[in-house]
Amino acid sequence: MKRQIISKKQGRRLWEYNEYINSWQNLHQLMRDSWIDDLYGKFPDVPGVVVSSGPSLDNQVAELHKLKDKALLFVCDRSVKFCLKHGIDPDFCITLDPQEFSVKYYQGLNLPKYMAIVYGLQVEPDIFTHWRHNRRFVLRAHNYLLKLFSNMLKKSKELNCWGTISSAAMAVLWEFGCSPVGLIGQDLCYQMSDAGEVISHCKGFWNEARKRRDRGEFIPVMNSDGKKVWTIAPFLAYKKHMETQIEQAPVTTFNLTPGGLKIKGTANVTCKDFLDICQPGKVQEARQYIKNVLAKKPKPVLTDMGLLRIAITIKTLCQKPLPTSKLEMEKDLIYQIYQPVYDVMLALDEDKTIMTKTLGAIKEKIKNMVMHNAEVREKLEKLSN
């Protein structure tokens, strides 16, 4: 039988479906993890730096070591391997993307004991095998499954951090109370290596620049130093979003990225200038506080046993690989549960009765599935005992 290829609209639906199937599978993780909100406001006037994975990072290893002595380092997942390779232990690492390749960022790494993981519920479920020995915190940012179950979870603040992982890390540092806040490795453009090659990321990652160039995606722009560089449309979209965020920032944000694009609202400074305005001793006090928090038993996001049963049921019913055709989508059990969430998720902010109705429909579908699924019944019986 000829395979039915999905349309562009259905493809977008599958992308969002990937986020939701991951969120369903990860829901039970909330039994052991805390909201990152628990640390909001705990680090007033402590310097913080977001470490991204732009190509300029290759030439700033010495600066990263100096920043580590005076600031909390909040690294994006693509940067963690680079930092550890150069003997720099981050304080926080963040992952939000639902794609399977995010798992590769942690493969083969011995993560520092006192590095806290910050994640979105939609991350690839396999990634948790690499985080077993680290304390984890959940970030709530535009996840409608969390919105749907909000009255069954410990309360949290939803952050407005669309776009990039860097913008999410920056928003979290602001919520911590950190000041000043710096950005490093935030190139948002392609730069030239010492060998004369256009590169997209710091060393240790695949170089996507050549592929982008050959497809005609390069856009010539001027960087913060007034030199011509190349960027792509997604980078410009990320830049615009960060600039919108920074307009409402509670503190001045500094850009420590040489040769990157100018981000409106940030002050371009050297690492030395940034270090000069950092208060001495503040970061040591903050790290001791973090260690004390990590040593304590976490306050779990999820304590409702009814919702836990739903989470265990969904995890058992989830099918991988993801469906890639309309026919496969319609047959997939999780899609049948997911569909009512997708169809009403934009209305959840306005009409709480829709939320209640949708939750009831999901529970009914699950109940019917459990009746005909011996594996699910067995797991739920063990959970009851």
For residue 369, the model assigns a pLDDT of: 56
Segment 295-321, tens digit of pLDDT: 999 999 988 877 777 777 666 666 555
Domain finish residue from 262, 295, 328: 295
d(CA 304, CA 306): 5
Segment 147-203, tens digit of pLDDT: 777 777 888 888 877 668 999 999 999 999 999 999 999 999 887 665 556 666 666
Q: For residue 101, what are the domain limits?
A: 33-295
The phi and psi torsions of 180 (rounded to 5 degrees) equal -75, 165
Do 289 and 307 share a domain, yes or no? Answer: no
Q: What is the largest CA-CA distance in the chain?
A: 69
- With beta carbons less than 8 A apart as the criterion, state whether 40 and 137 touch: no
Do 132 and 281 share a domain, yes or no? Answer: yes
Do 231 and 318 share a domain, yes or no? Answer: no
d(CA 17, CA 339): 9
Domain with 154 in it: what CATH number?
A: 3.90.1480
Count structural domains, the chain. 2
* End-to-end C-alpha distance for the chain, whole angstroms: 46
DSSP string, 180-203: SEEEES---SBEE-TTS-EESSST
Domain finish residue from 295, 316, 334: 295
Do 224 and 76 share a domain, yes or no? Answer: yes
Do 221 and 330 share a domain, yes or no? Answer: no
Tell me, what DSSP letter sits at residue 229?
Answer: E
Angle (nearest 5°) at CA 264 between 206 and 228: 55
DSSP string, 66-112: HHHHHSEEEEEHHHHHHHHHTT---SEEEE---SGGGGGGTTT----
Do 318 and 278 share a domain, yes or no? Answer: no
Segment 49-100, tens digit of pLDDT: 999 988 889 889 999 999 999 999 999 999 999 999 999 999 999 999 888 8
